[in-house]
Amino acid sequence: MQQISGNPTAPRLAVLVSGHARGSNLQALIDAHAAGELLTSVVLVIGTHSESAALERARCKGIDTLVISPMKPGRTETEYGDTLLQALSRRNVDGVCLLGYMRRLPLTIVAQFRNRILNIHPSLLPLFGGQGMYGLNVHAAVIDAGVKVTGATVHLVDEDYDTGPIVVQQVVAVNDDDTPETLAKRVLECEHKAIVEAVRLVMETGIEVVGRRVITKPTTTSQEHAP
């Protein structure tokens, strides 16, 4: 069992995004913090490409942004990992969120931030995950498979694609007339709630990881302690 204690003060989060990320999940975290629903604040957004709507959203809010391209000529996986790690350490971040980040994270980052890295995925994992499963591909596969429910998953990141212990899932019904686009829209609304809840649990409340299971601590109220 691994106990991951939360930070009840003001945890600092970095967000990683790939080139095409719109940044709507990032926006959900920014809005929840501004509304006082989340103590955790996003202090750094790192993109793989400079042209990204997510980076633009961050800049508009005065959040630090960096472009660190894994594709830079001559750059190895190890050097990409070291560059990311340096950026995260310099900002003193407590955790990392992958919000529309379509690569496998360098192993050094996984090791350094174990159980403090979250990834959001637009299906009910372990179904419809893995390499190549992103965006509308996921929803098209869900419809083709004929399943009646899908949803959003936020999980802890381990060494592989979409395989880490699950923190939060939200279920969405698949309608007979759904297209990948209509389904994506409803799932995205759930993603925005799921990511805020998962960040609160992992970064603020604290969790226990028992095998593949994430146990969320019961929140005690003063009433529960009353005689």
149-174 core/surface letters (b: 16 or more CB in 10 A; e: else): ebbbbbbbbbeebbbbbbbbbbebeb
Residue 158 in contact with ligand GAR, rule: CB under 6 A: no
Least spacing, CB of residue 54 vs ligand GAR, in Å: 5
Question: What does the per-residue mask of binding to ligand GAR show for 81-120, with x meaning CB under 6 A?
Answer: ------------------xx-x-----------------x
Least spacing, CB of residue 100 vs ligand GAR, in Å: 3
Closest alpha carbon to 19 in 47, 56, 41, 44:
47
Nearer to ligand GAR, 6 or 198 (CB): 198
Site for ligand GAR in 182-201 (CB under 6 A): 188, 191
Residue 52 in contact with ligand GAR, rule: CB under 6 A: no
The piece of 15-23, 69-77, 86-94, 202-210 that touches ligand GAR (CB under 6 A) is 15-23
Kindly tell me the sign of the dihedral angle through the C-alpha atoms of 191, 192, 197, 199: positive
**139 assigned to active site:** no
> What tokens appear for 88 in the block?
């995260």
Nearer to ligand GAR, 66 or 102 (CB): 102
What's the rounded Cα separation, in Å, for the pair 156 and 168? 10
- CA 12 to chain centroid, in Å, comes to 14
Least spacing, CB of residue 99 vs ligand GAR, in Å: 5
Residue 204 CB partners (closer than 8 Å, separation 6+): 6, 7, 8, 11, 38, 39, 40
Site for ligand GAR in 20-39 (CB under 6 A): 21-25
What's the rounded Cα separation, in Å, for the pair 37 and 33? 6
- Binding residues (CB under 6 A) for ligand GAR: these are 21-25, 54, 99-100, 102, 120-122, 133-135, 188, 191
Catalytic residues, which ones?
121
